[in-house]
Amino acid sequence: MGQIVVLDQNMINMIAAGEVIERPASVVKELMENSIDAGATKITVSIEDGGRKLMSVSDNGCGMDAEDLAKAFEPHTTSKIKTSKDLHNISTLGFRGEALASIASVAQIKAVSRAKESAGANCVEIDCGNKINTSPASADLGTTIQVRDLFYKLPARRKFLRTANTEMEHITEQFKRISLAKKNLDMTLIHNNREVYRLSGKESFRQRIAELFSSEISENLIDTESDEKGIHIFALLGTPNISKTNNKFQYVFLNGRFIRDKFISHAIKEAYRGILEPDRFPIAFLFIQMPYEDYDVNVHPTKIEVRFYNANLIHSQILGCLREKLLGTELNIHAKLPTTAHTSFDPSTQLGAGPAPFGSEPQGQRQDGKYGLRAGHRSQTITDAMAEFFRRHKPIQTQQQTGSAIMDYYSRQQTADKQTTDTQAYSPAQIGSLETKFLQIHDSYIVEQTDDGFIIIDQHALHERILYEKLSNRIRNSKLESQRLLIPESLEITDAEADAIKKNAELIDKLGIELVPFGPRVYAIQAFPTLLAGAEAIDFARDLIDLLTDKGVGLDPDRLLDEILNMAACKAAIKAGQRLSDSEITQLLADRQRIECAGRCPHGRPTTIKFSLSDLEKQFKRT
Ligand SMILES: Nc1ncnc2c1ncn2[C@@H]1O[C@H](COP(=O)(O)OP(=O)(O)O)[C@@H](O)[C@H]1O
Ligand SMILES: [Mg+2]
């Protein structure tokens, strides 16, 4: 006896519903998308008990006549596509014709709709797939669909619904996505009779973002646009100081549809490389417009994923557009001062709460030159630095440096700099004529007076950025200038490492390193790049070989070179804890003016924190 039976249509729908209707938020998404496809300019979403009790979506769209209203809840019914050809050119949000049927199979529905040309409205009621009533009704043009008691006949699925607050969070997220994608629409979200959002179609993107998220976010966005190769991109990019620990705040829209795409996420991450710490995620709103036939949306039941026919092109267009803007923008961090001002200022106490006694070493500093200036430490470190700044209190002198010997390091730099015109080194006489007020504190930070306040610079991070820029400029044009070592330095090498050296001979040569076999499993460094004079040759070569042998394998050549330059800059840069002469500081500050992206070290940590006079005046209650 055969075991296999054909399921009845209601069962089929219930099973299909599992694909699109996961939770209340999925219902809200599908209903809102239908309203948009119906040409609505105003949508009101009203929720009770996190959607567990009721979800109602009203619109002023084209509506449905009695015949269509009856059909809409049947499986595989749609007005949006007719033949398979239409699948290649989908301009609507929906097209699969299953959402209403799926929703109707797992809840109680009441739908009222009135089409433009109809004399009156009609109402249909469905209870878990069974039509119970169709009748004339009275209503304005448009559609209202109410969904009650989701999954009430499916206890197993009902049990998986979370608390009203959690479900409401998911609904709110769907609402946010759609209202960002369609910013010209009036949209309202109500929960338990309380208005959560009332958005007007007249507001700007920034206003909408401020209402949906916060004004802090909307005020820290940089906008950019590009229109090339058939792809139009408009982006609002969060500055590094509002970055997040996950990528939930990356909103990508393709022709008005919210999507998640790994190529695009990667392009965003790459665009922020060196601008943001590697474990942070930028906030970004990306609106992409391109021909519908250049991608397929028919790959995922909830249509959140698409397949691009030319994913590389999308990736490179986005990366190019974002990166160019980010590199061309000054992204210094503005200091956040404590909100409660101290009424009396006692210079012997710290300017903010924190465990470190006054004048102690700054938190997180390591002698290896890496400075642990991360989100959590940031305000602590700023207050430390500020407190120290005021404690010393001696007026910041105008540094008049006339002809003192420039330290070893900078004279070597000058030799290297003479070769090219991309950077300029200052002679002692020139330095003497520069009027800059600065001070080195804790042998790690430079405090410099600016026109409207002062800045604190992390000397290692800034120098790292400067070296990185110099190295990449030079190497782009030619090979790095090198100096022969008086006594070659030798290092032991495994066979695998020797292979990696041979394979990358050209690259090593371009770096200005002469690395030659010097006996069995021994190589000697005979020449070393002048620009890296601050690094130990042997130490650098060791790390370079490690990189070429394992981590760098499989990286494309550009990326590999970038990794190497990052490492080189870090190793050769001035360290935290290193006392600098006035002329070195002057040189550092002058270099800072000339390079791109001076606000961030190549790893993305900030190099500079700004304090404005108005911040100070507020803190000291002078205004
Ligand atoms: N709010 C609405 N206003 C007008 N027509 C609607 C609305 N909601 C649904 N419809 C009609 O019902 C059809 C079925 O909807 P749905 O099951 O979501 O499938 P799809 O959106 O994929 O076409 C739609 O194609 C549309 O014609
Ligand atoms: Mg639909």
Query: What's the per-residue H, E or C state across 79-103?
Result: CCCCCHHHHHCCCCCCCCCCHHHHH
C-alpha 247 – ligand 2 centre gap (Å): 27
Residue 329: per-residue pLDDT: 86
* Mean per-residue pLDDT, 508-517: 94
Residue 1: per-residue pLDDT: 67
pLDDT tens for each residue of 181-226: 999 999 999 999 999 999 999 999 999 999 999 988 999 999 999 9
C-alpha 98 – ligand 2 centre gap (Å): 7
Residue 344: per-residue pLDDT: 33
Which is more confidently placed, 292 or 492?
292
Q: How confident is the model at residue 5 (pLDDT cuts 50, 70, 90)?
A: confident
Residue nearest atom 1 of ligand 1, based on CA coordinates: 35
What's the Cα-to-Cα distance from 508 to each of 240, 341, 502, 525, 549, rounded to whole Å? 34, 55, 9, 11, 13
Query: Ligand 1 pocket check: which of 45, 55, 100 to mutate, most ligand atoms within 8 Å of Cβ?
Result: 100
Residue 335 has pLDDT above 80, yes or no: no
* Mean per-residue pLDDT, 145-167: 92
Query: Ligand 1 pocket check: which of 21, 28, 32, 34 to mutate, most ligand atoms within 8 Å of Cβ?
Result: 34
> What is the Rg, in whole angstroms, of the alpha carbon atoms belonging to the chain?
32
* Mean per-residue pLDDT, 270-297: 92
What's the Cα-to-Cα distance from 65 to each of 96, 115, 117, 145, 341, rounded to whole Å? 20, 5, 8, 14, 64
C-alpha 563 – ligand 2 centre gap (Å): 47
Residue 385 has pLDDT above 70, yes or no: no
Q: How confident is the model at residue 53 (pLDDT cuts 50, 70, 90)?
A: very high
Of the bound ligands, which one is closest to the alpha carbon of residue 78? 1
* Mean per-residue pLDDT, 333-361: 39
Query: Ligand 1 pocket check: which of 31, 36, 37 to mutate, most ligand atoms within 8 Å of Cβ?
Result: 37
Residue 142 CB less than 6 A away from ligand 1: no
User: Cα angle vertex 524, ends 522, 528, to 5°?
Assistant: 150
pLDDT tens for each residue of 570-622: 989 998 889 999 989 999 999 998 887 778 888 788 899 888 888 888 888 88
Residue 233 has pLDDT above 60, yes or no: yes
CA dist 621 and 427 (Å) reads 43
Q: Which atom of ligand 1 is nearest to the CA of 72?
A: 12
Identify the burial level of 555 via C-beta atoms within 10 angstroms of its C-beta, where 0-12 means exposed, 13-18 middle and 19 or more buried.
middle
Q: Which atom of ligand 1 is nearest to the CA of 142?
A: 3
- Give me the residues near ligand 2 (ion), CB cutoff below 5 Å: 34, 94, 99
Chain position carrying tokens 């039509």 = 131
Residue 26 has pLDDT above 70, yes or no: yes
Residue 112 CB less than 6 A away from ligand 1: no
DSSP code, position 455 = E
Q: How confident is the model at residue 275 (pLDDT cuts 50, 70, 90)?
A: confident
SS (H, E, C) 478-504: CCCCEEEEEEEEEEECCHHHHHHHHHC
CA dist 610 and 329 (Å) reads 15
Could you tell me what percent of the chain has a pLDDT over 70? Answer: 83
Q: Which atom of ligand 1 is nearest to the CA of 95?
A: 22
C-alpha 443 – ligand 2 centre gap (Å): 63
pLDDT tens for each residue of 168-181: 999 999 999 999 99
Q: Which atom of ligand 1 is nearest to the CA of 100?
A: 17
Residue 50: per-residue pLDDT: 96
SS3 content of the chain, % helix, strand, coil (to 5): 40, 25, 40
Residue 334: per-residue pLDDT: 58
